[in-house]
Amino acid sequence: GNSVTQMEGPVTLSEEAFLTINCTYTATGYPSLFWYVQYPGEGLQLLLKATKADDKGSNKGFEATYRKETTSFHLEKGSVQVSDSAVYFCALIVTGGYNKLIFGAGTRLAVHP
Amino acid sequence: NAGVTQTPKFQVLKTGQSMTLQCAQDMNHEYMSWYRQDPGMGLRLIHYSVGAGITDQGEVPNGYNVSRSTTEDFPLRLLLAAPSQTSVYFCASSRDRGNEQYFGPGTRLTVT
């Protein structure tokens, strides 16, 4: 079946530290991959996406590269800020059929000054 | 352009009560979905719709009903609330298949 596995949190970092949140997937067909972010008390917002192998999605200093050979889509940021504290969800959509998003469990990030 | 709106933001129900969670979008999106978010489980799809008059079940549909009489609205009905339905509920919409989904702010439901 289709599934997403992401690293357990919480991840606690100091401001300006480097961030990596690991995400691997299992999918039939050719999925599109997404990172969503949920700030406290809010709904999910799309952070970035990639629709085919070797694509790099980027937004607000965050990046993730679609790696088909390792079935991964790791999220990275070179220098985190306190305002990046949130829960990050990796997700996929398998092309064909309804566009059902399949989510990972989420990783909570806490950034301290 | 309000995007996806949900009401209420918070709700407490007693076991056996029924209620409707409202969802509306003003982006003329054909695809709408309901998810529930539980700790450590990400979001799981309850029901979805690919257009007015068309709905289908997701992975956790039991205890919930939906209808889609207009493009804009997609209400979720809890028929006989149970404590297992305590969760945060999100409505989402997208322009078409495979595209970005836009989420509402969520409804936090507690069933006692």
Phi, psi of B53, deg, nearest 5: 85, 0
Q: How far, CA to CA in Å, does B48 sit from each of A95, B13, B39, B44, B75? A: 16, 24, 22, 11, 11
**Residue of B104, B80, B106, B102 whose CA lies nearest to B30:** B102
CB contact under 8 A, A44 and B33: no
Q: What is the pLDDT of residues B4-38, one digit of tens each?
A: 999 999 999 999 999 999 999 999 999 999 999 99
Concatenating the DSSP letter of every residue in chain A gives --EEEE--S-EEEETT--EEE-EEEE-SS-EEEEEEEE-TTS-EEEEEEE-STT-EEEETTEEEE-BTTTTB--EEESS--GGG-EEEEEEEEESSSS---EE---EEEEEE-
Instruction: Sheet with A62-65: list strands edge to edge.
Output: A19-21, A75-77, A62-65, A56-59
CB contact under 8 A, A43 and B100: no
Helix or strand or coil: residue B19? strand
Residue among A51, A95, A100 whose CB faces B45 most closely:
A100
- CA A26 to chain B, closest CA, distance in angstroms equals 16
Whether A4 and chain B come into contact, CB under 8 Å, resolves to: yes
What dihedral do alpha carbons B50, B52, B53, B59 form, nearest 10°? Answer: 30
Residue among B42, B58, B96 whose CB faces A100 most closely:
B58
Q: Supply the pLDDT for residue A8.
A: 84
Q: Supply the pLDDT for residue B100.
A: 83
A and B: number of Cβ contacts within 8 A:
59
Whether A89 and chain B come into contact, CB under 8 Å, resolves to: yes
**Residue of B39, B59, B40, B37 whose CA lies nearest to B48:** B59
Write out chain A residues lying below 8 Å of B48, CB-based: 98, 100
Q: What is the pLDDT of residues B55-108, one digit of tens each?
A: 999 989 999 999 999 999 999 999 999 999 999 999 999 987 767 889 999 999
Write out chain B residues lying below 8 Å of A51, CB-based: 98
For residue A109, the cross-strand partners are A11, A86
Confidence of residue B41 (pLDDT cuts 50, 70, 90): confident
What dihedral do alpha carbons A73, B31, B86, B108 form, nearest 10°? Answer: 90
Write out chain B residues lying below 8 Å of A91, CB-based: 42
Res A100 pLDDT > 90: no
Rounded CA separation B22/B44 (Å) = 18
Res A95 pLDDT > 80: no
Rounded CA separation B112/B14 (Å) = 5
CB contact under 8 A, A100 and B33: yes
Q: What is the pLDDT of residues A54-91, one digit of tens each?
A: 999 999 999 999 999 999 999 999 999 999 999 999 99
Measured in whole angstroms, the distance separating CA B3 from the mean position of its chain's CA atoms is 15
What dihedral do alpha carbons B45, B50, B52, B54 form, nearest 10°? Answer: -80
Both tokens of A111, joined, read 């950034």
Residue among B31, B44, B104 whose CB faces A99 most closely:
B31
